[in-house]
Structures are given as C-alpha cells and as structure tokens.
Structure 1
Amino acid sequence: MEIIKGTVEHIVFRNSNNGYTVAHFDIDGDLVTVVGNFDELNHGEYLKLTGYWTEHKNYGDQFCMETYAMEIPTSTEGITRYLSSGILPGIGEKTAKAIVARFGEETLDILDNNPERLSEIKGIGKKTLAAIKEVYHEQREVRQIMIQIQDYGISANWAMKLYKTYKFDTISVLLNNPYQMIDDIRGIGFKIADQIANHLGFEENSPGRILAGINYSLGECYNRGNTYMTETELIQTSSRILGVNEDEINAQLGELVLMGRIIQEEVADQRVYYPRNLYEAEDNAALSMARISQMTYKIANVDIDAKIKDYERDVSITLDNKQREAIAAAMDNGVIIITGGPGTGKTTIINGIVRIFKDLGLKTVLAAPTGRAAKRITETTGNEAKTIHRLLEYEYSQDDDFPSFSKDETNPLEVDAIIVDESSMIDILLMDSLLMAVQPGTRLIMVGDADQLPSVGPGNVLKDIIESGAVKVLSLDRIYRQSDESMISVNAYEINHGQIPDINNDSDFLFLNKNDGDKLLRDILELVTNRLPIAKGFDSIHDIQVISPMKNGKVGVINLNRELQAVLNPAREDRLQREFGMVIYREGDKVMQIKNNYRIKWEDTVSLEQGEGIYNGDIGILENISNREKSFAILFNDGKRVTYDFDQMDEITHAYAMTVHKSQGSEFPVVVMPIVGGPPLFLNRKLLYTAVTRAKKLLILMGNQYVFRQMIKSTESQNRQTALRDRIITYINHPMV
C-alpha cells in the first residue's frame, strides 16, 4: 500500500448510494485521478490517501483509495483554498483571503477554539457566523468519527454505511454493542460484526456476542431447508461457532426467547427453536391450508363432463380418466395437488382448466416460483404466467431482507382460480404469503413433481401438504410427451421407480463410461466446447448446461465453472475482468443470480419497459464491467438488463455449471452431468431424477456406471426438520386451536 497526500481539485463522478467517487487531486503540483468510496468529498479538502496505483485502459493511471483521513492544511495557500471551496456557508474566495490575511496559519485553530473572532472580518455578521460554527462543528465531528471508525479496522465503504445509519451515535454503538449492526445494516452479518468486535477487544463470552451467535447458528435453518433446530443441535452448533462452552449458550437461550427473537416449541416430543419469521410462516400457512382445504364449490347448472368433452373435441385429444378427474376436481375443491413427472400430461390439464374456467366466465391466473419457471409455463400453455412475487405485488422494505406483498388477507387476489406450477420449489415463506392472498371462493391448484428435490429455501411444503392427507391429490404416472426416438421421459420414469434403465447410446439419453477423474473433466470440456457444437450444432453457452451433484471436487460446480470459463471465455485484452472472493468474473461470462433482489432496477432491451426485481436462479451474460463507475451490467436471458454496484458481486456466480438444486424449474436443450462417487446425501434417486428431467433434447451422463446404479437404488436424502404436516392436521382436527 502507498500513501499520498493532496488537495481535492475537481469531483468528476459520485454515486450517492455507495459513495463511489472519481476525483482529481493536486498531488505536489500534479493532477492525479483518484477513485474510491468517500463518505463526503469537497473541493479544497486536503486528504491523506492510502491505496495503490492501477492503469485503466481508457483513463490511464489512477490511484485506488482504500482508506483516507482528512489532513489539516498547514500553508496559508492551502487554508485559503480549503475555506474558499464552498465547504462553509457565506465564505467565498474574497472572504477566505481576508480571513487568512488576518489570522494566517492560526486560522483553523481559530475555527476550532474561538470561532467568534471571525466576526472581526468584514462581511461576516451574526447569522453567517452562526451558520459557519454549526457547519464547521458538524463536519469536524463527522471527520473525527470517520477517522476513528477506520482506526477500528473498518473499511471506508463500511464506515460510510455505519455513519449514515447511526450518525453521531456511531462510536457509541460500536463500543457498546457492535452486534447491533447485524440488525440495522444490510450486508453486515455475524462474521463481519464479530471481526469488528474482536478488534475492539470484546470477550468471547460477552452476552451480546453469544446472543448474536445463537441467532447466526439458528440461521442455518435457511441453508439446510429446515424451519427449526432441536435444542441439542442449536446449543452444539452455537458452541462450536462461538468457541464457548454449552452452559454459556444454554444460559442465553431463554433471553432470546423472552426478547421474542426466537420461538421455543415442542415438536415430536422434542424441544425445538424456530427463527421467529419461520415459525409464523409455518403456523400461518398450516392454518390457511386447513381452512381452504375444507372448502368445496359447485357451479350450478354446469355439466362438467360435457365441458371436458368439449375441450377434448376442440383441441383434438383424448384425456385419460386421471386427467378428467383432475380437471373436475379443480372445479369442486378449495385446493388440489396435481403431481407427476415429465410427459405425464400436467400441461394438458392446466390448459383444460384454464379453457373451461374461461368458458364459464371465471378468472384464472397462472404463477410459478421463479422467473424461469414462469417463462416456461407461459411458453408451454400459451397463457401468461407470473412469478408468485409479481402476482402478489411485492413491496420491498430496506429494513427487511424479506419481501412484503400488497396482496394479503386484507387485499386478496380477486380471481376464481390460482394455478401454481413447479410447486415443489415453493418454500414456507412464499407459501405463507400466497395462502394469505387466497380468499374464500378462490380455488388453489398446485401442480408439480413431488419426486423432485424440495425447495432451496426452508420447508418441504409440497411433501408436507400431501402427507397431511388434507388435500385431494391427483398423481399422474402415464407418460404422454415423447417422440418415437425420445428416451428421456421413459428413463426418468424408470429411475423414479427404482428401475435401472436400458440405455441405448443411439438415443437422446446417453451414458458414457469414464472412471478416471482427470479424463472425465477433459472429456466434459471437449464435449461442451467442440463435439456437441460441431456435431449437433448446439451453442456451448446458451444450449448446453452442465449440472453436477456437488460443489467441490474435480467435476464439482466450482472447478467446472473455472475450467469451462478458461476454454469458453478466456482472458483477452478487450475484455475487462474483476476478482471477487477468489473468483474472476469477466465480460462475456455466463452468470446466475443467487439471491432474490426485489428492489434492483432493470430495463427490458426489447420493449424498453422498466421494473424492479431479479430472482435467485435467473441466468444471463455479464455484458460490461466499469472500473470507473465501480459497476457491472448483466443481460439476462429474458431480455432484462441490470446494472449492479461492485459490492453486489456476491449476488452472482458463474453458470457454466450449476448444482442440481439450482437447475430446478428449468429445462435446457442439452444437459451434461458427471456421475462420480461422493457423500450419500448427494447421490440418491431424487437428485438424479431431478437432474435427468432438466433435459429437453439430449441428456449425457458421464462417469461411473456403478455409482449411477447406486443412485437409483438409494432413497436416502436429507430429511428436513419441518412441522407443517402436523400443524395442518392439528388445525383440521381442532379448528379452534
């Protein structure tokens, strides 16, 4: 790191949201471009900057500021420039010169300790003097706070966010309870707060640290798909993370319960703890599901069998008994579930329901959990589908990491039927929000594949509702959607039923034996970059998707993305790149959004429509990186272009390869998947079945035949800790509970 000192001459650009600034500094008579995050910057200020030099391809040499501190000008010329910069009200160049002419190098000392003497200068009256004193005092306080914050090992960027949140209470918050930042400042989690607290000398067993650590440990529910943790598990996890004994954890658990931060319950004769929002979501969803599952509807003077026959005649198809039953059940029940694998006729049923409801003058809406799934159901049915977030009209609060919706029990959806596809992907938080917006008289039709992996988020919603026995479930097992040559749906059906498929490598379902890990990796790269594009005409980026069961290992997602980037989008002089968290992102990279961002703005490149919201799983191309503006732009596959700040780079990852979980809700023309040994949790039938059903035109499995057979035999998968099923049953049996 290098230290330079200079005066602010000109502010070229400033991002008011994150403080990123491009400015020209006078450094010993030379004009230098400085870039970095400043809380405030004013013409004439004299600063000490710590950072490093870099060369921009368009703008030449730049100094990248990491930390800074205000220096007091020592020369009369520097003081004059500082005072005349406009930083103080009522002082222009003429008055500044008069002040310095009178007080010389003692001018700033006069401002600090005896500002009333400024009234000796012609033109500075009582009102101007009062304004100068107020502004100068505030600026001095801000500078001192910013310098002190950075002395605690906090970067300039985070220091600015702290000051914007707490103002003059910043130092008090840091010294008394730095863990308060976790609740108050978006982006600061337990690990960052703990680093700051450690720098400030907080003890490992301080109550604030233990309370924050328990909350952090309980947050593992979100990562593991659970809605609660057992008491034993929570105490052991917290003890390991915090490095304190279990008795100290146990002593603070009750405090968090009394504070209402976590909820204590008895589930299956065990004491368990919920994050408050997951408890409320699970309990409310159970109550709502129990309520609407008991509702039945009859449309007077309507022969539903005749309506179904009319639909069959109009679209020239013949439905089987299960499909007819599903359409009829959608008319009569408050909620039904239609589940089945690929090609079993789910889309045909959806089209029939929409068509018949429309003929009856009833309003139907289609929805799906993700943008990709909504787009796919729109394409397959010819009817517009929205994400559940858009359907419920999400509203984002900056104080809350979770969205709220304008549609709820006080403002329900004014429709006769809601059809939700890919229902296995709905987590408990989203399910609760959806059910709140379902009013009496509205039918809920949940469509999905119960044999796929559950949602990425907490809960096992579809499985729990089915197992509650409260809802009519229509299970489809006859395959319709296949051409004479297609074996993907047939083999997926066999895998799902524990049967080893008869694989013919002349079909669209291939298995290539590759038992050597290094050779397997090389063959995947060759297949994606050369063989499939040349022999079959598939595009390596847009048509082919590599899916892996695991993140780590030679053919895990992390290494596959690194290797595929190297061959599909290698470093070039005309493509900017940026390193983030040991990963290099480069213009032209295939990337994926990995967290919901409900407030980020986008523009449709075709319609020029503008809106907000990009969702977990959305895929696109990294179009542009701007070091000057500290931003990058992504063009998503649905035509939305989004510009991000550099500090939002944690919201994306490479998408040349993805986990099976991340592939849910999508179909790709070609899927390539390595099959290798690993933890049993990642090698089971449900995961393999989910991966296989992502392919539309061609599926290529590469690896070990023995592992492939073991995956088909294995029904072992992670059992999620949820209580939705039991709560639904309780509310049905005891409606007043």
Structure 2
Amino acid sequence: MNNEKSLNQKGQLFQGMFKKILSGGEKVDWKYTLAIFVARDGKNFSVFMTNQPIKLMTMYEISVSDNKKSNYNSKQLDSLKVREPDSNEELEKILIASNSGIGRQTLAKIKDKIGKQWVEQFKKDQSAFKELLSSKSFDALVAFFQTYTNKSYNFFVASGLSSLYESLYKDLGDVDDSLIETLKQINPYTLVYEKNYTFSTIDNLATLLKLEDTPQRLKALIFCSVEDLMNSENSTLVNPSLLINKIQKDYKNYSFELITETIQEMINTGILCFNSNHQRITTKKMHDKEMYLAATLLRLNKDKKVLKIDLHSSLSTLQQHAFKNAVENGVSIISGFPGTGKSFVIKNIIEYFVNNEVFNNDDIAVLAPTGRAAINIKTKWNINARTIHSYFRLSPSPHKTTIDCTNPAASHKLLIIDEFSMVNTDVFYEVISHSKNLEKIIFVGDVDQLPCIGPGNLLDDLINSNKFTCVKLDEIFRTDRKEIPDHFLAVKNKKNFSFNTNDIVFLDTPPAVYYDELCSQYAMNVEEFGLENTAVLIPMHKTINGIRNTNKILQQWRLNNYMIKNSEPESFSFGVGENARKFYVGDKVVQNENDYDLDVYNGEIGFIKSYNQATKSVVVDFGYKSITYSREIFGQYVSLGYALSVHKFQGSESQCVIFVTYPEHNFIMSTKLIYTAVSRAKEKLVILGDLNYYKTKVIKPSNEQKAITTFSEFINTEV
C-alpha cells in the first residue's frame, strides 16, 4: 500500500488529521459532522460523516468516497481508524498541535531530562514522567498516548462506536486496554438488562465481537421487546402472546419453546416479573419504579392539615372545593375540560401558600411536560412555570433507554404538575426520586386527553383509585362560544353532534382537492385571527395528506402571499433531493427537542426573524423571547410549524384550529386524539376532510385501549 493514498472498493484511502469542524460535531451530539481533513501529502478537503465522533489533530487513516448528495465539494466518510504517527518527530508535532495540555516548554523539559528517545521510554515505564510532570500534564500525556496505543479504543473507533466506548468506560470502570476482554467475559448482551443499554447498539457491538449466537442475546431481545411494548401501548404490563409474537419476528427465528423457556428463566432470576392477576409480564425495574411511586404518594397523602381558608369570591363552587382540597391534602388532583379554570385555581393556591407563609416562592415548583404548556401558565397568570425537563435537566442517556437527571439538588417542597396526563412513568419516577424535600404535590390535567408517550397511565390510575382527593371541574369559562365545548364533549361521550353551527365549520373535502381547500381556509382564518393564532392539526406525519407535505404546501402559500407585495425573502437550505428542507425568513417553525443551553423547549412555536449568512446564524422570535441558533443546531432541532401533530400541540390552545381527518390516519385515530384536537380551539374550529369517516370515528371509535399497570395495583393495595 502507498503510504499516502491507495484505492480500495470503498473509495480513496488517506492518512492525516482532521483540522477543523465546519458544522455539526459535538454541538449536535455527532449526529452529523462536516470537517476539514489534511492529508500527509498536504492535500486538504472536507469530509461529511454521521454518528462518528472524531478528535482534531489526531492521526487517522480514513476511507472516503465522493459525496454525490452534497452541495459542496466534499467527501463521504466510509470508515476510519486511529493510526500511530510514523516517527517521534511527527508524534511531537501532533502532540503540540493537539492542544492536549503538553506545550513546547513541557516537551523540551521532557527531552532534556529523559532524552530524545523519550517516546520509547514512556511506553516502557511511566514512573520517571510521573515524578517529572505535574499531575495534570502527566494525565494529559497518558490520554494522548492511549489514543494511539489503546487497542480497545481503536477497535471502537474503527467500528464507528467511539462514543459507545466512552459510555462503557464509565460503566465498567478503569479497564483501559482490557475493555474488549471485559466485555467478552461479562457478555455485552447482559448490559441491556443490567445497565439499560439499547438492544440495537449492543447487538451491533456483539456482532463485531462474534458473540451474537450466545444465549444472552435472546434474554436481551426479550427485555428490549418488553420495554418496546410498554412504550407503544402505555401498559406497563405486557401481554405474553404479543411479546412472543414480536420476538419471533427477529431474524434469528427463535422457537416458541425456547422463547417461553427463556422468559420463565428471566422471571425466576428476577429480570422480569409475572403479574398473576392480569397474566402479564413487566420488567423488575419498572415493577420497582411503580412500587416506589405508589408508596411515596400514599405516604404524602397521609399528611392532612386543616387550615383556616378564606373563601374566594372569584372562584366557582367546584373551584373552591379544588382549592380547599389542594391546601389541606398532601396529594390532590384537579381535573377538568379545557377552559374550566384549572390554571386560575393554581394561581390562587400559590398566592394562598405564599401570603400565609406556608411556603415561599423558592419552595414551589410549577411544572408542565411541554414548553407550550409552561408558557401558557406563565403568560396567563404570571406564574413562574417551567418544563419538567428543564427544571430537573432531564435528557436521554447516551446509548441507553434511561433518562439522565443533572439537577439532583432540587429543593422544592410543593410540586404542581400541569397537563399531568402527558407525563409517563419513567419521567415521573425521575421527578419524585429527585424531590427529596417534597411535602405536597398537586396534579392538574384533563384525563380525557391523549395519554402520555411512553409507559403508564398515571392520571387515570390516580383518579380511579379513589385514594386521593379529586375535583373534576366541568363549568367552562374559557369562551362564551359554547358550540366548541358542546362538540368536544360530544366527542368525549361518543355521541352524535350537530353540523349546523356557527363557530364550527365542517368541510367535506375529497383528497384530490385537499390542498386547495386547506389553503383557502387557511388564508381566510389567518386574515381573521393571524398566522400565530391559526393552527393546523393533523394526526400523522408521513401520509399523503400528512404533516410533512402539508407544511410544504402552507409554506408555499405564505411565500406566494408574501411575494405579492415583496421580493422573495431570504432563505437557507438543508440537504438535497427528497429530503431537502428550505426555510424562509418569516416561516412559522417549531422546536422539536429540549435545548437547555438556548433555553428553548420541545413544542415552542415561533417565526424566523432573520438569517445571517456571514455568521450562519438564525434568529427565531417566539413572541416572549428571541433565540439565536447556529445553523447546525437549527437544522437539527427545528422544523416547519404551520401544521403540527395533535401530540405536539397538546397543552396548547389557539384562536382557530383546523383539524384534518382522513381514513389514512386510521392507525392512530381515537376518541382521545379527536377530543384533544378539537378542544384546542377557542374561537373557531374547522373540521376538514372525510366527514363521514369523522362522524363514524366519533360515534363508533376504534383504537380504544385501556392501559394495564402495576402502579394501579400498588396504589389500591397500599404498599
């Protein structure tokens, strides 16, 4: 092989270093990276890669091919591996250039005391270096050499799994170069059910280690399948027949007998639990979470205080009852339809506790599962509400199915959670387990809305247990237009409804004219209510008339409307071909993930205010704040927001809602989804699509599933 370059089936082979990251990289968790690579012959070019962490100024051998999808003259990374420098002189240059913490003066000191052959000496015996250097410099030197000499690390890099190496290194301790041997000894598949690693990640690793045929693989697959079913069906107790059917779809074609034997073994060894009442299965980890949550809430509920409470003339009779229950009980629930004044009751509760010096403002945490829900509370009543994820700093654990919490020192004593129906068991466990000073908790929500995404059905279970005081508010104050509440209550109760209304427009729209009719209605309502107060809600993303295609149509509508009086606004693009995305200044957009550094959260809706070509930055105006994104962060976490899913808009409201309904959405159409969608409207509701289908789904719904949980049993048996 030529030392500088050769050809193989994958493409061109180069040796050299990545000098600069142009976009992506660590800022987007290495989901994509565009970086400058400098080859040993001096040639430099940009390289695009996905899911591949890299170190700058580190010698690599890379295989690349032409990137035909790129607008830039870049290469596509096929593979890479760490390559040790060819000489001591080259190593010293890289050491200084890498900003590792070893500079020219330190290197001169090493060569003066140890000699020119210091590299060989360091590899044999590091004791003299430890005496010579500060601990910081010594550790930096060790880390630098490990990049080139650690066989385990180099294996993970060459396999495209360097970020997994870091995670395993933390979990398995100081195993250094023996990590691969350690993994072989414990079998990596055990990490799925012992350390919560994702099955797909570990399956990939085990295949590389030639361990995919071990019995532990089936155990890991079973454990992963139980978790998948819990996440998709809300039930934390899984039907064994569904579980077995799911496992039998695996390419290994495990037999029914082997699957059932392994499930029984996992139950016997405490990895899984079998619920005899329901004849269903859960994981021991979920079983313990639900037991802990039930025990904590039952303990809090025993703390009842009779306090002097002044009646508020501004509260209705039921609101007074909800207020009194919340003040006197350790655990209480305020449920009700949209517009029944739930957040108004919260405001009065907080004022009572602060004014009577029961709690101060720092003792109280008002939280919601989405940014939009938190903003609604804040703007309506000037309550300092935050998202659950931002308050506790929750984020997915890398390569795992668990959640990391980086605010374990939360000191609140009173916890109020709005839109609680959207909170799943995993998130609630993090909330309660990191609320060490908790004295009182108030759950607020609408039990008839969509359930959470993920395992559990907590609000339903709490209300149905009858163990906690619960007031269901039913007097609607939000609007004087009763037709919309009448309609969503008809949906809730699966009853027939009137098509003869003023505030609800029913448009029977064949798919062939869907986009024309939608744009017509959108234009009419935007003129009346404004772009920010007109929401289009669609059940699914990728169908013909789904969210993705509708967003493109409405973006083009706005662009055409804008250009009647103006020239085309400034734009910027991501990707090419079918996956290309183009944004214009003025576009309505939505944040899709939590970003704690920027203080912007999933579900927040804004408008692109400006794009700076020189700095590659995007400013989005959210009304109550402006956020400046780097181009790569914007591209990763922001999408068009003209049309949204019902799940995404849950917890929000709009003056006008256009709800799109076609049989193509049948997979997820349920009473709770329809109810959630139509109850978002305050002044005007437009039902657009197949009206016969819509009426049938209201009166004779399908996809109605009741979640079955161990939590409900624990609550009722007072563990």
Which category of TM-score, normalised to the shorter sequence, fits these structures? 0.7 to 0.9
1:356 Cα deviation from its structure 2 partner: 3.7
Distance in 2 of aligned mates of 1:233 and 1:38: 38
Aligned equivalents of 2:189 and 2:386: distance in 1? 39
What is the CA–CA distance in structure 2 between the aligned matches of 1:668 and 1:23, rounded to whole Å?
46
Per the alignment, residue 297 of structure 1 pairs with 305
Q: 1:61 to 1:222 in 2, by over 3 A?
A: same
Give the secondary-structure state (helix, strand or coil) at the position aligned to 1:459: coil
Cα 1:251–1:345 change in 2 (3 A) is: same
Question: Structure 2: how far apart are the matches of 1:644 and 1:217?
Answer: 38
Among 64, 70, 87, which residue is 1:50 paired with?
64
1:727 corresponds in structure 2 to 714
Q: CA deviation at 1:699?
A: 1.8
User: Where do residues 304-383 of structure 1 align in structure 2 (5 Å cutoff)?
Assistant: 304=309, 307-308=310-311, 311-312=312-313, 317=314, 319-363=315-359, 365-383=365-383
Q: Of 200, 207, 214, which aligns to 1:191?
A: 200
Aligned-partner SS, 1:229: coil
One-letter code of the match for 2:243? L
Match of 1:68 in 2: 80
Q: TM-score, normalised by structure 2?
A: 0.76
Instruction: Report the equivalent of 1:101.
Output: none
2:293–2:432 Cα contact (<8 Å) kept: yes
Note the 1:33-432 alignment, pairs <5 A. 33-34=46-47, 39-42=54-57, 47-53=61-67, 61-69=73-81, 82=90, 85-87=93-95, 124=115, 129-131=120-122, 138=146, 140-142=148-150, 154-155=159-160, 167-169=176-178, 171-172=180-181, 177=187, 179=189, 189-195=198-204, 197-198=206-207, 202-203=211-212, 206-220=214-228, 221-241=230-250, 243-257=253-267, 260=270, 262-270=271-279, 272-299=280-307, 302=308, 304=309, 307-308=310-311, 311-312=312-313, 317=314, 319-363=315-359, 365-389=365-389, 401-404=402-405, 413-415=412-414, 418-432=415-429
Cα drift, residue 130 of structure 1: 0.7
Q: RMSD across aligned C-alpha pairs, in angstroms?
A: 4.8
Shift of 1:226: 1.9
Q: Counterpart of 1:23?
A: 36
Q: C-alpha separation between the residues in 2 aligned to 1:461 and 1:268?
A: 19
Q: How far off is 1:468 after superposition?
A: 0.7
Q: Secondary structure at the match of 2:575?
A: strand
SS at match of 1:523: helix
Q: Is the 8 A contact 1:48 1:71 kept in 2?
A: no
Q: Deviations over 1:517-571 (max 9, x none)?
A: 222244224443x4433x42622xx433221233453223344345545655799
Question: Residue 53 of structure 1: CA displacement?
Answer: 5.0
Q: Tell me the CA shift for residue 471 of structure 1.
A: 1.9
Give the Cα–Cα distance (whole angstroms) in 1 for the partners of residues 466 and 408 of structure 2: 28
| Counterparts in 2 of 1:322 and 1:125: CA distance versus 1, 3 Å | closer
Question: Structure 1: any 5+ residue segments left out of the alignment?
Answer: 97-118, 605-613, 732-736
Q: Shift of the alpha carbon at 1:660? A: 1.9
How many angstroms apart in 2 are the aligned matches of 1:257 and 1:173? 26
Counterpart of 2:403 in structure 1: which amino acid?
Answer: F
Instruction: Return the offset for 1:217.
Output: 0.5
What is the CA deviation profile of residues 365-395 of structure 1, one whole-angstrom value per residue up to 9, with x for unaligned ones? 5332322212111222232223344556769
Between Structure 1 and Structure 2, whose CA radius of gyration is higher? 1
User: Are 1:454 and 2:451 counterparts?
Assistant: yes
- What does 1:580-729 align with in structure 2 at a 5 Å threshold? 583-588=579-584, 592=590, 594=592, 600-603=595-598, 615-619=601-605, 639=625, 641=627, 655-677=641-663, 682-714=668-700, 716=702, 717-729=704-716
The answer to whether the 8 A contact 1:22-1:628 is kept is no
What SS does structure 2 have at the residue aligned with 1:214? Answer: helix
Shift, 1:79, TM fit: 6.1
2:203 and 2:466 map into 1 onto residues whose CA distance is: 46
Question: Residues 188-238 of structure 1: CA distance to partner in whole angstroms, max 9, x if unpaired?
Answer: 7323443454566555x5313212211220121123222121333323322
Distance in 1 (CA, whole Å) between partners of 2:18 and 2:659 is: 57
* Cα distance in structure 1, aligned partners of 2:57 and 2:344: 65
Distance 1:427 1:126, change over 3 A: closer
Instruction: Give the conservation status (yes or no) of the 8 Å contact 1:602–1:643.
Output: no
- Distance of 2:634 and 2:216 partners within structure 1: 28
AA matched with 1:429: D
Alignment partner, residue 138 of structure 2: none
For residues 394 and 34 of structure 1, do their structure 2 counterparts lie closer, same or farther at Cα, with a shift above 3 Å needed? Answer: closer
Distance 2:283 2:538 in 1: 31
Give the equivalent residue in structure 2 for 1:524. 518
Letter in 2 for 1:155: G
Kindly provide the CA deviation profile for residues 554-603 of structure 1, in whole angstroms up to 9, marking residues without a partner as x.
223344345545655799995131379x74444457555556x5xx5423
Structure 2 distance, partners of 1:578, 1:173, is: 41
Kept in 1: contact 2:272–2:282 (CA 8 A): yes
Q: In structure 1, the residue corresponding to 2:462 is in which secondary structure?
A: helix
Counterpart among 461, 464, 467 of residue 464 in structure 1: 461
* Superposed displacement of residue 690, structure 1: 0.9
CA contact (8 A) 2:192 2:223 kept: no
Q: Would you say the 8 A contact 1:55–1:62 is kept in 2?
A: no
SS of equivalent to 1:288: helix
Q: Which moved more, 1:363-372 or 1:34-43?
A: 34-43
TM-fit CA distance, 1:663: 2.0
Cross-structure match for 2:497? 501
- For 1:131 and 1:378, the matched residues in 2 are separated by 60
One-letter code aligned to 1:378: K
Please say which of residues 290-299 and 467-476 is displaced more in the overlay.
Answer: 290-299
Partner Cα distance (2:658, 2:18) in 1: 56
When residues 538 and 71 of structure 1 are mapped into structure 2, their CA distance, relative to the original with a 3 A threshold, is same
Of 674-683 and 205-214, more deviation after overlay is shown by: 674-683
Are 1:511 and 2:506 an aligned pair? Answer: yes
1:337 is paired with a residue whose SS is strand
Aligned sequence identity (%): 23
- The answer on whether the counterparts of 1:225 and 1:460 sit within 8 Å (CA) in structure 2 is yes
Against the structure 1 CA distance between its residues 657 and 201, is the aligned structure 2 distance closer, same or farther, given a 3 Å change threshold?
farther
Length, aligned pairs only: 657
Residue identity opposite 2:382 in structure 1 = G
Following superposition, the deviation at residue 460 of structure 1 comes to 1.1
Partner in structure 2 of residue 546 of structure 1: 536
- Kept in 2: contact 1:370–1:665 (CA 8 A): yes
Q: 1:647 to 1:218 in 2, by over 3 A?
A: farther
| Counterpart amino acid of residue 493 in structure 1 | L
